[in-house]
Amino acid sequence: MPRPPRLSPDEVAAALRDLPLWRGDVTGLHRTVGLPSFRAAVQAIVALADVAEELDHHPDVDLRWRTLHLTLVSHSEQGVSALDLELARRIDELLPT
């Protein structure tokens, strides 16, 4: 299945205006999520895994105690694509604040 192409800097900047919980640029989208406990953070990763598998698009996850650092980038495209935007929206549905 072909994967969508990487977006231009202007396209990424425009998309980020509709994703206020995310920052970043063409090299990746970033969001930090604080959870109440380490276990809650691990459970959040498991929930993320279901979304990632559904989309066949996977976040880079860095867990520090109860803080998740998420990076979205399309490795195959060496940039940010529409799949990263879709994944960001789905993550925001799952972890709204």
Ligand X SMILES: C[C@H](O)[C@H](O)[C@H]1CNC2=NC(N)=NC(=O)C2=N1
Using CB under 6 A, list all residues that contact ligand X: 56-58, 73-76
Q: In terms of CB distance, is 10 or 56 closer to ligand X?
A: 56
Q: In terms of CB distance, is 56 or 93 closer to ligand X?
A: 56
Q: In terms of CB distance, is 66 or 77 closer to ligand X?
A: 77
Helix (H, G, I), strand (E, B) or coil at 37: coil
Q: At its nearest, how many Å lie between ligand X and the CB of residue 18?
A: 20
Largest CA distance in the chain: 39
Backbone phi and psi for residue 88, each to the nearest 5 degrees, phi listed first: -60, -45
- Dist CA 81 CA 95 (whole Å): 21
